[in-house]
């Protein structure tokens, strides 16, 4: 009897599967809510980072109905630190859509899943395969790398994506497609790694074309990325005598959408014109810029923010700042502040 690619992958998975908090035990039907929640969290984020967030979310909102009923501000607060905050807003919107459109049950159809907020082709396929054992092809970065090496695809990414999607789909078995999807993810994460792949223990070593050609470490090839620009601005940390800090909420759409922030000037490319940036302060005050800026990197640009400090002589001073409000010092740890703004506040407190 011929051993197929899927046979090798499933046999390997049965011995080496990772034990993850969202993954069902062998032979147990996966919980679609856990699968969906983990897949959204894992986008652009490592497993090690996600584990704690996943467990806290699940303890706080154990079902999609509970998450749908939660205020979006609480969801954003719980998400703070995970980055890519549009995911948190879409997570909440998706939970509400599942409750409103599907009576709290995730659909098992890829097209219906794609119609839900925040669910793209990969996530829809992953949920369909893992939660419902549908023969859907879920291709994340790990699977992309495995397939590129297996078939020795030398076209650079992202141009290679359509070919890799077709190749991956052709490999999906009718038997245990959910376990197969997770096997391919695990293989890419633990064996077929980006650097120094551990080919000698790979179940696919005999059929891997890149290994035979000696080019496995160089695949998948990637087109050169343009250098990220650097934007600069000033973050204004205004405090009261009791330690409260002036905050405001960012617009619901766009970068860090819906999150709380320390007011800042516009973020512009090129050298910082400090005098002009200080003129964008939320309220008139004696602003003192700190010497060392806070640095942070987003997907498409680097950011440097000079932190400027001021003390509010009266509580009424803050009313001049549009959409701003005081946040008590002992509540800052529980607020929906992104990592960037926590860096800014920490720099201000360090002086």
Q: Are 92 and 117 in contact (CB under 8 A)?
A: no
Query: In terms of residues, how long is the chain?
Result: 351
pLDDT at 316: 57
Q: Name the phi and psi angles at 247, rounded to 5.
A: -125, 170
C-alpha–C-alpha distance, residues 16 and 10, integer Å: 10
C-alpha–C-alpha distance, residues 134 and 127, integer Å: 9
C-alpha–C-alpha distance, residues 168 and 144, integer Å: 8
Q: For residue 162, how many other CB atoms are within 10 A of its CB? A: 10
> Hey, which residues are catalytic here?
39
pLDDT at 331: 87
Domain 5-218 has CATH 3.40.50.720: no
Kindly give the residue spans of alpha helices, DSSP state H, lying in 221-351. 274-278, 339-350
List, by residue range, all CATH 3.90.79.10 domains of the chain. 230-350
For the four alpha carbons of 279, 282, 287 and 289, in that order, the dihedral sign comes to negative
- Residue 259 carries which DSSP code? -
Question: First and final CA of the chain: distance in angstroms?
Answer: 71
- Residue 4 carries which DSSP code? P
pTM: 0.84
Beta strands in 190-323 (DSSP E): 230-239, 245-249, 260-261, 268-269, 288-289, 294-297, 302-311
pLDDT at 314: 61
Q: Running along the chain, 351 residues long, what does each successive block of 10 average in pLDDT?
A: 88 97 93 97 92 96 98 91 88 97 96 96 96 95 97 96 97 96 97 96 97 96 92 95 90 85 95 94 92 93 96 62 82 87 93 74
pLDDT at 329: 87
pLDDT at 320: 52
pLDDT at 139: 94
Q: Are 230 and 295 in contact (CB under 8 A)?
A: no
Residue 310: alpha-carbon gap to chain centroid: 34
In order of 65, 74, 87, 165, 231, the CA distances from 224 in angstroms are 44, 40, 27, 21, 21
Q: Is the peptide bond before 158 cis (omega within 30 degrees of 0)?
A: yes
Q: Is 115 helix (H, G, I), strand (E, B) or coil?
A: coil
List, by residue range, all CATH 1.10.340.30 domains of the chain. 5-218
| CATH of region 230-350 | 3.90.79.10
The pairing of strands 230-239 and 302-311 is parallel
122: tokens are 């990969």
- Residue 222 carries which DSSP code? B
- Residue 318 carries which DSSP code? G
Tell me the sheet residues that pair with 329: none
pLDDT at 71: 94
Angle at 138 between CA 185 and CA 148, to 5 degrees: 65
């Amino acid at each position: 009897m011929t051993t197929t690619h899927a046979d090798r992958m499933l046999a390997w998975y049965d011995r080496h599967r990772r034990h993850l908090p969202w993954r069902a035990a062998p032979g147990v039907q996966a919980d679609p809510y856990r699968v969906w929640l983990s897949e959204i969290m894992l986008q652009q984020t490592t497993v090690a980072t996600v584990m704690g967030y996943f467990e806290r979310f699940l303890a706080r909102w154990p079902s999609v109905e509970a998450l749908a009923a939660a205020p979006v501000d609480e969801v954003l607060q719980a998400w703070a630190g995970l980055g890519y905050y549009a995911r948190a807003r879409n997570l909440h919107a998706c939970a509400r859509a599942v409750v409103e459109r599907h009576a709290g049950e995730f659909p098992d159809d890829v097209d219906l899943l794609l119609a839900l907020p925040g669910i793209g082709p990969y996530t829809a396929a992953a949920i369909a395969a893992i939660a419902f054992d549908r023969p859907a092809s879920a291709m994340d970065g790990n699977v992309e790398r495995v397939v590129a090496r297996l078939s020795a695809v030398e076209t650079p990414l992202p141009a290679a994506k359509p070919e890799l999607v077709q190749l991956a789909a052709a490999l999906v078995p009718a038997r245990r497609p959910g376990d197969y999807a997770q096997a391919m993810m695990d293989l890419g994460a633990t064996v077929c790694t980006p650097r120094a792949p551990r080919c000698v223990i790979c179940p696919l070593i005999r059929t891997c074309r890149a290994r035979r050609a000696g080019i496995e470490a160089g695949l998948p090839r990637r087109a050169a990325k343009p250098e990220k620009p650097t934007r600069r601005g000033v973050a204004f940390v205004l405090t009261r005598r009791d330690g409260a800090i002036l905050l405001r909420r960012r617009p619901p759409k766009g970068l860090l959408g819906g999150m709380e922030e320390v007011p800042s000037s516009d973020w512009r490319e090129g050298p910082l014109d400090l005098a002009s940036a200080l003129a964008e302060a939320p309220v008139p005050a004696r602003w003192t810029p700190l010497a060392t800026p806070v640095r942070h990197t987003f997907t498409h640009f680097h950011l440097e923010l000079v932190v400027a400090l001021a003390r509010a002589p009266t509580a009424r001073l803050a009313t001049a700042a549009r959409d701003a409000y005081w946040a008590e010092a002992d509540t800052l740890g529980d607020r929906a502040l992104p990592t960037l703004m926590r860096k800014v506040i920490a720099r201000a407190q360090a002086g």
